[in-house]
Amino acid sequence: MRTLRINLDAIVHNLDVMRARANGAKVMGVVKANAYGHGAIPVAKTLERAGVDYLGVADVREALELRDGGIQSPILAWLHDPADNFETALTANIDLCVANLGQLQRIAKAAAVTSVTAKLHLKIDTGLGRNGSTEADWTELLEAVQALGESVSVIGIFSHLSTTSHVEDLAQIKKFDSAVAEVKRIGLTFEFRHLTASDGSLAYPEAHYEMVRIGAALYGLDPFSTNRSAEFGLIPAMTAVSRVAQVKTVPAGHGVSYNFLHRTEKETWLALVPVGYAEGLPRAATGKAEVSISGKRYAIKSQIAMDQFVLDVGNDPVQVGDEVVIFGDASLGVPSADDLAAAAGTINYEIVTRMGGRFQREYVGEGL
């Protein structure tokens, strides 16, 4: 009755598109937040079979779930909480971000206990103001890493852009280069540098370094939320569909759903769709979002509720059981995640990552 149809072939295609653009740099597939709502294990398996170089997640717990699911690719986890168990992470061969001395000390301890060499990616905050070492603390952090000798191995040096503007991003790229120069000055060796996510990888080919970290684009989402997936050659991988659960005729002047935001203008047919904000359909999209039935668009004019919304379909021959596309691939004529995001005042990332509730995921395509 409520399905998130995930096209694994689209994900493989998008990986190929981004790999071609990466110009020889490695590609990390970012599968945090349940692969942006697409299902972490099936997506990671697909990416692994398609030859992704690395996988990236926020939490160690997400990385462990991938290992439990049989994923063998290198995995980097970059957002640690004070309760994270680094011993388990090292034993499971998970690369760890280091953003400060406290984290480094905990990881070093875990390396000593497990006798596993910790694979580190040192993160410098080049201006975003989020995770990562400050420039002021960077040298001290590098020296502390160096003092640990062979119990740690530095795989990566990385940072993250704000994509506020060209000027701001170029300033961050410059700071990143200085931070890397400092690593070299100290004599610490590392394998590769990585800076850009989907947006930066499309906007700054000169800043791909040795690896790019790609999330949104893998799922066929325009990372700028400007509805230009097709322009970038990307295919949206998620289609959210439901089925009409009830159709009935009502007279003119009939109120529809809470607060009667919509009243029928004439005798008309109402179609009930069993998807609500519990499924991740933003209530804020009421009055603005459109869905598609048999190729025709219908605005959601009445209040989106927890479990359902109602469409005024006029005299159209809509039937119980008809498929309702809430969003999908715009090039097929249906609304996109970008359209729904615009209706709800947010970005496509938030739309797909919040899809859940009673939706069930169905996988189509071979993945290879």
Task: Give the binding site for ligand PLP (CB under 6 A).
Answer: 30, 32, 78, 160, 197-199, 213-217, 223
To the query of whether residue 258 is one of the catalytic residues in this protein, the response is yes
Rank residues 138 and 277 by Cβ distance to ligand PLP and give the closer one: 138
Per annotation, catalytic residue among 174, 184, 248, 258: 258
Rank residues 78 and 209 by Cβ distance to ligand PLP and give the closer one: 78
CB of 197 to ligand PLP, least distance (A): 3
Nearest by Cα to 207 from 23, 31, 17: 23
Rank residues 198 and 302 by Cβ distance to ligand PLP and give the closer one: 198
CB of 282 to ligand PLP, least distance (A): 19
CB of 215 to ligand PLP, least distance (A): 2
Burial class (CB in 10 A: 0-12, 13-18, 19+), 20: exposed
CB of 366 to ligand PLP, least distance (A): 24
Rank residues 196 and 264 by Cβ distance to ligand PLP and give the closer one: 196
To the query of whether residue 32 is one of the catalytic residues in this protein, the response is yes
Rank residues 30 and 47 by Cβ distance to ligand PLP and give the closer one: 30
CB of 223 to ligand PLP, least distance (A): 5
Per annotation, catalytic residue among 32, 45, 119, 123: 32
Which residue has the CB atom at the shortest distance from ligand PLP?
215
Catalytic residues: 32, 258
